[in-house]
């Protein structure tokens, strides 16, 4: 089987000189293509790889945000469940004042619950706009998840002054103003 070039020469469509010129040009093109193939970098391929890397980075960031939001929802659900299962019912006539978010809040409770709060056996936990009384152990578990929900107990021990003439007299915890 003869090549196409040989067939065209036999048919007389191409002369010998023109055939040699074409084969010579073909060899030059192959040689140039071989040399330039290695250093030549496909720009479209690089752009596609870069866009894929950017998309992957955006996807990772979006997934991280979604995971953080899901984690926050799970923590909020855990806190709600802990409070709902362990809250102490309260209603009374004695006002108990405490600070939450730099504001003074008041709960009306019984004297027994007030004594438990002062002793530290009960603590106040914020749940939305409401405040609930829960045992200290549960409040500590809630504080591990979100410390902003738990009302910090006030320090009853005041810093003493050496020149204070009333240093020997303690202020009772149940002093009402």
Q: What is the count of structural domains for the chain?
A: 1
In-domain check, residue 17: no
In-domain check, residue 4: no
pLDDT tens sequence across 88-142 = 888 888 898 988 888 888 999 999 999 999 888 999 998 888 899 999 999 999 9
pLDDT tens sequence across 22-61 = 888 888 888 877 766 554 567 888 888 999 999 999 999 9
In-domain check, residue 97: yes
Q: What is the pTM of this model?
A: 0.55
pLDDT tens sequence across 66-94 = 999 999 999 989 989 988 998 888 888 88
In-domain check, residue 160: no
In-domain check, residue 131: yes
In-domain check, residue 163: no
Rounded distance between C-alpha atoms, residue 128 and residue 118, angstroms: 24
Nearest residue to 126 via CA among 103, 102, 100, 164: 100
**Helix 136-145 to helix 43-86 angle, to the nearest 10 degrees?**
170
**Helix 16-37 to helix 4-11 angle, to the nearest 10 degrees?**
160
Domain region containing 107? 57-155
In-domain check, residue 133: yes
> Which two tokens mark 149?
């929900």
């Amino acid at each position: 089987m003869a090549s196409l070039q040989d067939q065209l020469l036999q048919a007389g469509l191409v002369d010998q000189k023109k055939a040699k010129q074409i084969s010579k040009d073909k060899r030059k093109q192959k040689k140039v293509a071989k040399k330039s193939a290695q250093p030549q970098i496909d720009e479209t391929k690089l752009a596609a790889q870069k866009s894929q890397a950017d998309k992957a980075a955006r996807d990772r960031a979006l997934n991280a945000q979604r995971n953080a939001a899901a984690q926050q929802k799970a923590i909020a659900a855990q806190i709600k469940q802990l409070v709902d299962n362990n809250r102490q019912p309260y209603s009374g006539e004695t006002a108990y004042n405490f600070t939450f978010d730099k504001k003074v809040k008041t709960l009306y409770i019984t004297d027994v619950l007030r004594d438990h709060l002062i002793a530290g056996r009960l603590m106040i936990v914020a749940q939305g706009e409401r405040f609930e009384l829960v045992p200290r152990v549960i409040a500590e578990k809630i504080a591990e998840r979100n410390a902003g929900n738990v009302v910090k107990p006030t320090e009853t021990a005041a810093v003493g002054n050496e020149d204070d003439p009333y240093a020997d007299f303690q202020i009772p915890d149940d002093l009402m103003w």
